Structure 1
């Protein structure tokens, strides 16, 4: 027997080399208990001799009508899954429920139009759309696959898109109200991106109103609603960042160059808040003695910062679990689910410097009033 060159060896070649039927050769690889040991060894020896590596798992899975894997697609580079604290926490939740169901996970990046072939060609049973940057492209490609899919953000997606997420307006209200109750009157917002143009810097109301990314817009709306309810309806500086140290540093430098710097920062993500904490500590600005800061997400790392971060906690693992359940649901049921957030109060918030005597339970209108 000689090794086959010029093309990949096939199962029929193994059968011919071993002098057995194709069915027998197939059983050796797929149902070996049906074949006598002596015959099995002969077929396997023939396979090694001609360079046959075994059945193509892709073909076997496709013939079964299922690949037993879920794709998680994002408009970010694949490194986002490992670098961003929220993404890491979400993937942990997705992986745990997939493990419990014996299902694999495939990470898919679709950062450019031409990269959407990753979605179209991915060997998966369904798709979880993580982050909705480029949402229309991701949704259109997912629909073209005719596979179950679910978005991890309610956002501005239409009502025909299955989705699991949180009420960003309500969550942001919790953060702003907490700081207002503590007695803060001078606020600033460190925002996530409003659009995919890569801009950062001060954001005017029009930039917020026309935001392509609903969570960034809705969290600003929630902050301002709660402050208005507390009788604090003045202009609040909003600085758009790209959630990286450079843009956050620029925003903080601008805020602390103002004649009256803020005493409270509303950060639209824990990642932004944690970078801000490092910047403040490096300049001797004590948190919460000199300034308070509230994040958003509830990632595990937030409990380990100095001081521990007060944050609006999303049920990250539960979002991931329900998304996987929607993909695995063979009944074809349609679901859009909004999960509740809660405020986790830790050491990064306190009354403002001039009002240390103000009680954290000072009277304000009831939430939602």
Structure 2
């Protein structure tokens, strides 16, 4: 960190401190970077000179840029910064990322913004060795910005079929098929789907045309997995309501109000996230509907809250923390293009599912 010399003529440099303390430039540098190798009396003399001249130490950015590595990872999302703390999936993912960074001594820089212009600036100016990109919304824009930095990056839950983008995710079609098969094996035939976004800034019942035009391939793949399995047992999938939420409380409640206003409400809900499913559990309970006696619910994610909900939630568990750890290793150990990884999912059966009444 540089300060100004008397008269604001120019910034105080490390060389000025070395001269004032009567030591070499290298010795002065060691006082700030490796003080243990400098004699105590010399350290005190250099620090006294620095304090007198208002010098706070070398600019860390310059040292890091000279080294070519900053030993830090940027974790980027187009969501508000609160997403990292409020969303159950994001919290588990960040725990995995943090564990991997702790093991290597790497730092973490959270990158988000309220608008595209600010997001672009934050990514362009972040002092990191690479990016882990949360492709929840605005995924294509995040990938574009990360590519412009020409640093290694890995997309998590990437909703893109671009095979050139390094990504870590799961087989959404297979996972959704597991969820639907579990419910059909229990005897359910009346279903509703509470979906993640198919496109930005839209909620409500979706048509087949909107599904085909989906921006987010992951959402479309989960729906494909559900409907493929329902068709297998003869369910008329044209009559299965699919409500697109924003994966938040308000839009999930609005979807449930719409679906349960029907004369033939579902006996089973396929929720594309545990967050949606947990909101549904509370909403149904508040209206006197029993889970699983009146309605069965299966979530998707495997967040810790699902195990302690009332009742505990049946879900498709992703290896969320492992995805985070793999992403960190891919960035820190990168020596070329990072490949794509698809990890397995697991059906965890708990008390939110049972055979339908009658």
TM-score with structure 2 setting the length: 0.94
User: CA offsets, 1:72-96, max 9 Å, x none?
Assistant: 1111111100000000011101111
SS state at 2:55 partner: coil
In the alignment, the residues of structure 2 paired with residue 72 and residue 187 of structure 1 have an alpha-carbon distance, to the nearest angstrom, of: 37
Q: Report if the CA contact (8 A) 1:265-1:294 is conserved.
A: yes
Per the alignment, residue 57 of structure 1 pairs with 60
Q: For residues 184-203 of structure 1, what are the structure 2 equivalents within 5 Å?
A: 184-196=188-200, 198-203=201-206
SS state at 2:193 partner: strand
In the alignment, the residues of structure 2 paired with residue 211 and residue 73 of structure 1 have an alpha-carbon distance, to the nearest angstrom, of: 23
Structure 1's unaligned 5+ residue stretches are 355-369
Of 285, 288, 297, which residue of structure 2 is paired with 1:284? 288
Of 65, 81, 85, which residue of structure 2 is paired with 1:82? 85
User: CA offsets, 1:131-169, max 9 Å, x none?
Assistant: 252222222221221111111124324111111100111
User: CA offsets, 1:157-213, max 9 Å, x none?
Assistant: 4111111100111111111111111011110011111111x2211111111111111
Structure 2's unaligned 5+ residue stretches are none
Of 18, 24, 28, which residue of structure 2 is paired with 1:25? 28
In the alignment, the residues of structure 2 paired with residue 72 and residue 278 of structure 1 have an alpha-carbon distance, to the nearest angstrom, of: 32
In the alignment, the residues of structure 2 paired with residue 216 and residue 243 of structure 1 have an alpha-carbon distance, to the nearest angstrom, of: 12
Q: Does 1:123 align with 2:91?
A: no
Per the alignment, residue 365 of structure 1 pairs with none
Shift of 1:333: 4.9
Per the alignment, residue 236 of structure 2 pairs with 233
Per the alignment, residue 110 of structure 2 pairs with 107
Q: Report if the CA contact (8 A) 2:135-2:156 is conserved.
A: yes
In the alignment, the residues of structure 2 paired with residue 85 and residue 5 of structure 1 have an alpha-carbon distance, to the nearest angstrom, of: 55
Of 223, 228, 233, which residue of structure 1 is paired with 2:226? 223
Number of aligned residue pairs: 352
SS state at 2:137 partner: coil
In the alignment, the residues of structure 2 paired with residue 8 and residue 291 of structure 1 have an alpha-carbon distance, to the nearest angstrom, of: 70
C-alpha RMSD of matched pairs (Å): 1.8
Per the alignment, residue 213 of structure 2 pairs with 210
Identify the range of structure 1 (320-329 vs 290-299) with the bigger mean alpha-carbon deviation.
320-329
Q: Report if the CA contact (8 A) 2:135-2:158 is conserved.
A: no
In the alignment, the residues of structure 2 paired with residue 154 and residue 74 of structure 1 have an alpha-carbon distance, to the nearest angstrom, of: 12
SS state at 1:47 partner: helix
Q: Report if the CA contact (8 A) 2:64-2:70 is conserved.
A: yes
Distance 1:82 1:151, change over 3 A: same
Of 92, 96, 100, which residue of structure 2 is paired with 1:97? 100
Shift of 1:19: 3.4
Shift of 1:271: 0.3
Of 46, 49, 74, which residue of structure 1 is paired with 2:49? 46
In the alignment, the residues of structure 2 paired with residue 34 and residue 112 of structure 1 have an alpha-carbon distance, to the nearest angstrom, of: 48
In the alignment, the residues of structure 2 paired with residue 177 and residue 102 of structure 1 have an alpha-carbon distance, to the nearest angstrom, of: 44
Q: Report if the CA contact (8 A) 1:3-1:49 is conserved.
A: no
User: CA offsets, 1:19-45, max 9 Å, x none?
Assistant: 333333212222334433222211111
Shift of 1:12: 2.7
Q: For residues 167-182 of structure 1, what are the structure 2 equivalents within 5 Å?
A: 167-182=171-186
Shift of 1:214: 1.5
Per the alignment, residue 246 of structure 2 pairs with 242
Per the alignment, residue 363 of structure 1 pairs with none
